[in-house]
Amino acid sequence: MFFNRAVSFTLVSGSFRHRKAFDEPLRRSNAFRRNRRLSHLPRPSRRRATTPSATRAASGRDFSSRARILIAGQAPGLRVHKTGIPFNDRSGDRLRDWMGVERGAFYDPARFAILPVGFCFPGYDARGSDLPPRPECAPQWRERAMASMPQIELVLAIGMYAQKWHMGAASRKTLTQTVHNWREGYFSNHAPRILPLPHPSWRNTGWLKKNPWFEQEVLPELKVAIRLYGGG
């Protein structure tokens, strides 16, 4: 598997076992509270965040013990951060269009699990773009969360950070190269299958225009995969 313990999270220095627990307030979703199989995961702290960009708990995640498809995003945007509903914005609308699913099906835990690399809104950079996922988050939670969903057969790795985590050395130097070589992860003999995607943010409209092969080659295969693994 691409997410086993042998694969390190290359964007964060230090090991998973030796890093101190990161006390980030996380509001558990309804699906998380209902799922007893995940009850062994650490509970989020009730203390307020100490960073300006993380002033409110918002997970942007939805665990599932039934779904065969995992939507692996980067980190919640501001609207998602405020509502606690993953992909509850224009990026989510575009992603659902790519996948060929309605909003109700997208949030059905029997069809899809959702787990970003970061659980809180990381803030904006000087250009007004979202910052990368907070580096403390993935080492603290993600490996145990993934281990609690062994039924996952297909991972939609959205964005460079999710691709680095799930694909490890198989990811390329740039997102464009990784997505362009999508067949390597999707048709490999490893489980689960990995299908790398660009982030559906409307800021990436220019990228889509420069890379028409994505809509021509990848999106049809994505829709087939969604139906194949029970998401459609």
Domains of the chain: 30-228 (3.40.470.10)
What pLDDT is attached to residue 177? 97
- Contact by Cβ (8 Å): 21, 14: no
User: Can you tell me the distance from the alpha carbon of 7 to that of 171, in angstroms, rounded to the nearest whole number?
Assistant: 12
pTM of the predicted structure, to 2 decimals? 0.72
- pLDDT in 10s for each residue of the chain, 232 residues: 444 333 332 333 233 232 233 233 333 334 433 343 443 443 333 333 333 333 333 344 577 889 999 999 887 777 777 777 889 889 999 999 999 999 999 999 999 999 988 777 777 778 877 777 777 777 777 888 889 999 999 999 999 989 998 999 899 999 999 999 999 989 887 889 999 999 999 889 999 999 999 999 999 999 999 999 999 8
Q: At 157, which helix (H) or strand (E)?
A: strand 154-158
User: Can you tell me the distance from the alpha carbon of 158 to that of 61, in angstroms, rounded to the nearest whole number?
Assistant: 14
The DSSP call for residue 109 is T
The helix-helix angle for 219-228 and 90-99 (nearest 10°) equals 80
What pLDDT is attached to residue 96? 98
What pLDDT is attached to residue 61? 55
Q: Which two tokens stand for residue 103?
A: 């909003």
- 130-to-58, 75, 162, 186 alpha-carbon distances in Å: 15, 9, 15, 28
- Contact by Cβ (8 Å): 145, 184: no
